[in-house]
Structure 1
Amino acid sequence: MSRTEAAPAQARGDLTERLLAGLPAEAVLTDPDVTASYAHDMASFCPAGAPAAVVLPRTVEQVQHVMRTATELRVPVVPQGARTGLSGAANASDGCIVLSLTRMDRILEISPVDRVAVVEPGVVNAALSRAVGEHGLFYPPDPSSWEMCTIGGNIGTASGGLCCVKYGVTAEYVLGLDVVLADGRLMSTGRRTAKGVAGYDLTRLFVGSEGSLGIVVRAVLALRPQPPRQLALAAEFASAAAACDAVCAIMAGGHVPALLELMDRTTVKAVNDLAHMGLPETTEALLLAAFDTPDPAADLAAVGALCEAAGATQVVPAEDAAESELLLQARRLSLPALEAVRGVTMIDDVCVPRSRLADLVEGVARIADRHRLTIGVVAHAGDGNTHPTVCFDAGDPEESRRARASFDEIMALGLELGGTITGEHGVGVLKKEWLAREIGPVGIEMQRAVKQAFDPLGILNPGKLF
Structure 2
Amino acid sequence: MADDVDEVDDGSRELHELLHERLLEGLPPAALLTDPQVTASYATDMASFCAAGTPAAVVLPRTVEQVQHVLRTAHALRVPVVPQGARTGLSGAANASDGCIVLSLVKMDRILEIDTVDRIAVVEPGVVNAVLSRAVAERGLHYPPDPSSWEQCTIGGNIGTAAGGLCCVKYGVTAEYVLGLDVVLADGRLLQTGRRTAKGVAGYDLTRLFVGSEGSLGVVVRAVLALRPAPPRQLALAAEFPSAAAACAAVCAVMEAGLTPSLLELMDRTTVRAVNALGKMGLPETTEALLLAAFDTPHAPEDLAAVGALCTAAGASAVVPAEDAAESELLLQARRMALPALEALRPATMIDDVCVPRTRLAEMLDGTAAIARTHDLLIGVCAHAGDGNTHPIVCFDPADEDETRRARASFEEIMALGLELGGTITGEHGVGVLKKEWLARELGPVGLEMQRAVKHAFDPEGLLNPGKLF
What's 1:121 paired with? Answer: 125
- Structure 1 runs (4+) deviating above 4 angstroms are 5-8
Which one of 160, 175, 182 corresponds to residue 178 of structure 1?
182
Residue 156 of structure 1 deviates from its aligned partner by 0.1
**AA paired with 1:437?**
R
Name the SS of the counterpart of 1:198 in structure 2.
coil
1:169 aligns with 2:192: no
**AA paired with 2:163?**
S
1:425 aligns with 2:407: no
Name the SS of the counterpart of 2:271 in structure 1.
helix
**TM-score, normalised by the number of residues in structure 2:** 0.97
Which one of 46, 71, 77 corresponds to residue 73 of structure 1?
77
What's 2:4 paired with? Answer: none
Name the SS of the counterpart of 1:123 in structure 2.
coil
Q: Supply the distance in 2 between the matched residues of 1:52 and 1:329 (Cα, whole angstroms).
A: 40
Residue 111 of structure 1 deviates from its aligned partner by 0.4
How many residues align structurally? 462
Which one of 402, 405, 413 corresponds to residue 401 of structure 1?
405
**AA paired with 1:363?**
G
What's 1:351 paired with? Answer: 355
Name the SS of the counterpart of 1:93 in structure 2.
coil
Residue 343 of structure 1 deviates from its aligned partner by 1.4
Which one of 195, 198, 212 corresponds to residue 194 of structure 1?
198
Farther-moved stretch of structure 1 (183-192 vs 10-19): 10-19
What's 1:333 paired with? Answer: 337
Q: Supply the distance in 2 between the matched residues of 1:135 and 1:425 (Cα, whole angstroms).
A: 30
| Deviation by residue 1:277-329 (Cα, 9 ceiling, x = unmatched) | 11110100000000001111111011001000001011000011111110000
Residue 7 of structure 1 deviates from its aligned partner by 12
Q: Supply the distance in 2 between the matched residues of 1:133 and 1:8 (Cα, whole angstroms).
A: 53
Q: Supply the distance in 2 between the matched residues of 1:343 and 1:292 (Cα, whole angstroms).
A: 38
Unaligned runs of 5+ in 2: 1-7
Q: CA RMSD in A?
A: 1.2
| Pairs within 5 Å for 1:259-408 | 259-408=263-412
The percentage of aligned residue pairs carrying the same residue is: 82
Which one of 419, 423, 442 corresponds to residue 438 of structure 1?
442
What's 2:93 paired with? Answer: 89
Q: Supply the distance in 1 between the matched residues of 2:56 and 2:326 (Cα, whole angstroms).
A: 48
Contact 1:228–1:292, Cα closer than 8 Å, also in 2: yes
Unaligned runs of 5+ in 1: none
- CA pair 430-7 structure 1, distance change in 2 beyond 3 A: farther
Contact 1:7–1:75, Cα closer than 8 Å, also in 2: no
Residue 11 of structure 1 deviates from its aligned partner by 3.2
**AA paired with 1:208?**
G
| Pairs within 5 Å for 1:451-462 | 451-462=455-466
Which one of 399, 407, 410 corresponds to residue 414 of structure 2?
410
| Pairs within 5 Å for 1:223-262 | 223-262=227-266
What's 2:105 paired with? Answer: 101
| Pairs within 5 Å for 1:29-44 | 29-44=33-48
Name the SS of the counterpart of 1:104 in structure 2.
coil
**TM-score, normalised by the number of residues in structure 1:** 0.98
Name the SS of the counterpart of 1:153 in structure 2.
helix
Name the SS of the counterpart of 2:414 in structure 1.
helix
1:133 aligns with 2:137: yes
Name the SS of the counterpart of 2:344 in structure 1.
helix
Q: Supply the distance in 2 between the matched residues of 1:323 and 1:32 (Cα, whole angstroms).
A: 48
Name the SS of the counterpart of 2:349 in structure 1.
strand
Q: Supply the distance in 2 between the matched residues of 1:311 and 1:37 (Cα, whole angstroms).
A: 49
Contact 1:258–1:292, Cα closer than 8 Å, also in 2: yes
What's 1:12 paired with? Answer: 16
Q: Supply the distance in 2 between the matched residues of 1:330 and 1:34 (Cα, whole angstroms).
A: 35
Q: Supply the distance in 1 between the matched residues of 2:92 and 2:40 (Cα, whole angstroms).
A: 15
**AA paired with 2:387?**
D
Residue 13 of structure 1 deviates from its aligned partner by 2.5
Q: Supply the distance in 2 between the matched residues of 1:130 and 1:7 (Cα, whole angstroms).
A: 50
Which one of 62, 66, 89 corresponds to residue 62 of structure 1?
66
Residue 8 of structure 1 deviates from its aligned partner by 5.6
Q: Supply the distance in 2 between the matched residues of 1:26 and 1:329 (Cα, whole angstroms).
A: 38
Contact 1:6–1:95, Cα closer than 8 Å, also in 2: no
Q: Supply the distance in 2 between the matched residues of 1:146 and 1:18 (Cα, whole angstroms).
A: 36
Which one of 26, 30, 46 corresponds to residue 26 of structure 1?
30
Q: Supply the distance in 2 between the matched residues of 1:11 and 1:314 (Cα, whole angstroms).
A: 65
Q: Supply the distance in 2 between the matched residues of 1:18 and 1:224 (Cα, whole angstroms).
A: 44
